Amino acid sequence: MPLPRRRKLQHHRLRPLLQVVSAVSAALLILFAILSFLSPSPDESEHFNLRRHHTSVNAVVQDPVTNGGYVFSIPSDGVKLDRDIWSSRNAKFFYGCSNASAKFAKAEAVTHPTRYLAIAASGGLNQQRTGITDAVVAARILNATLVVPILDQKSFWKDASNFTDIFDIDWFISFLSKDVKIIKKLPKRGGRTWTPYTMRVPRKCSERCYNAVQLNKFDYRLANKLDTELQKLRCRVNYHALKFANPILEMGKMLVQRMRMRSKHYIALHLRFEPDMLAFSGCDYGGGEKERNELGAIQKRWKTLHKNNPDKERRQGRCPLTPEEVGLMLRALGYGSDVHIYVASGEVYGGEETLRPLKALFPNFYSKDTIATKEELGPFSSFSSRMAALDFIVCDESDVFVTNNNGNMARILAGRRKYFGHKPTIRPNAKKLYRVFLGRNNMTWEEFASRICTLQRGFMGEPKEVRPGRGEFHENPSTCICEDSEAREREKEKVKADSKHKKHRKLDDSSRKDVMVTDDQNGYEENDVPEWPDLEDEEVDQSGPQEKLLYNATGSDYDAFSSGEPELEVMLSD
């Protein structure tokens, strides 16, 4: 009976192997059960989504986030790019130029002795700033004496500040004395206070609209395109005459100094993700019924606000990016986790839960409330315009400014940063970025970052990104920006000469190697000093449909949302 014995022997030999396989299988089952218990449920994961198409916001940087079987790993370091992420290319060839020409008559020669202009500026700080700037120009058009503007104290912002609380009134009057005569209050007529006629001027009106009157709700009441001398006067007012009052200026400088103590460079982010702004946008951020109810209640404040299709608004670039999307965009543009960010923002919708992914990407995260004490902010905290002025200063002094909408603060700072040296100002190209964020689960990080960089070309605050005359003047003050053509030509010649010298040196080194053995040397590469690009090649036309967008557009979007409701109009203010 040899066959049964052989089978029995084989069975004894396989028994240890079967025991090992069974033990491994049991261990794997136990491990799978533990992982299933620890992983969040689908409902719990949905709770952490800012938008249903996006990755979970509780993802930790450097940890792979698996979506649909694809690994999307976010590096902690920024992408290495062929540019300096802290400066604008070719910025040194452009400078602000707003001095009046010899043909621009002095104020004393043209001012009518009995003609006065008084205006009431509306909205928040930056909307009022545009009104004050244009009021000076209107007074010049009328050859009238300007009365220091009255600031809006009754509308949405409910700020009781006067002109002297926000701006240095004496500097304002003295700096513009050669352009426009300015007085602090109307003189008396016949021993009594003079009461002027009041009226509201049509929006964006030309020089022909004006008479000697008091103009109420004065903001955006002058056209973008005026005579060159008047445009330069606008710049003198906005960039030189409107200096903040000393208490604001000193506090703002202290905030900047504290950011500089933490890091050599910093980014300022105007996040604009407050509940009222999201309600006004009509966009969907994946918060379900709770979000729709909360934002819907806020929307009822504006009777003329139409209900929009959220997906369509998103496709058209009319929705602010989420804090997570802003963080991913910055990482793709080369900013690593060690970068310090100052956030200028009010109450963020969703609070810390909404900010969590941005803070995970950029842990060095600050605001005026975190770098200053309550006691230090006390004199300002009850006044929205004064608090906005502090943010304005920190954003203006930042190495890179990032705006998440195209409101007044974003436009004014964009123009100001161009005028004072073209410091980088990043505006998300939301209309194009939408599809990248929507499909990012199906691409590698390298693909994602490459697409972001490509789509942001023309939205980085570089010289000549926008053609002269395009968009809002306060955002694109092209009349007041001059190019140093001679310096640019000298630089191009220097680059060519250096490149030629290095090429010859490389050839000489190669010749020596044919006849002798040399020590180890670090040779030059021709692309160490690239040919200087032609600025005209960098020009991007931002005209067309984008000019009508509410967010992240170049053109003037304020008119498209004009209505008879004051609160609806000032929503675009700051």
| Concatenated DSSP letters of 71-96 | EEPPPSSPP--SS-TTS-TTGGGEEE
Give the range among 67-71, 136-140, 161-165, 408-412 with minimum mean pLDDT: 67-71
Q: Within 10 A of 556 (CB to CB), how many other CB atoms are there? A: 20
Kindly report which listed range (32-36, 145-149, 255-259, 459-463) carries the lowest average pLDDT score: 32-36
Distance (Å, whole) CA 559 – CA 202: 12
Least confident of 57-66, 118-127, 388-397, 552-561: 552-561
Query: Which tokens hold the place of 473?
Result: 């003047």
Q: Quick check: 318 pLDDT over 60? A: yes
Note the pLDDT tens digit of each residue in 479-502: 999 998 777 777 777 767 666 666
Asked if 385 contacts 155 with a C-beta cutoff of 8 angstroms, the reply is no
Task: Tell me how far apart the alpha carbons of residues 478 and 472 are, in angstroms, rounded to a whole number.
Answer: 10
Helices (H), 303-350: 310-315, 323-332
| 64 band by pLDDT with thresholds 50, 70 and 90 | very low
Mean of per-residue pLDDT scores for the chain = 77
Return all residues near 344 (Cβ < 8 A) that are at least 6 apart.
268, 269, 270, 271, 367, 368, 391, 392, 394, 395, 409
- Over residues 422-479, the pLDDT tens digits come to 999 999 999 999 999 988 888 999 999 999 999 999 999 998 888 877 778 999 999 9
What pLDDT, on the 0 to 100 scale, is given for residue 159?
82
Report yes or no: 479 and 235 within 8 Å, Cβ to Cβ. yes
Segment holding 251, helix H or strand E: helix 246-262
Nearest alpha carbon to residue 329 among 440, 449, 446, 461: 449
- Give the predicted TM-score (pTM) of the model: 0.74
Q: State the pLDDT at residue 16.
A: 61
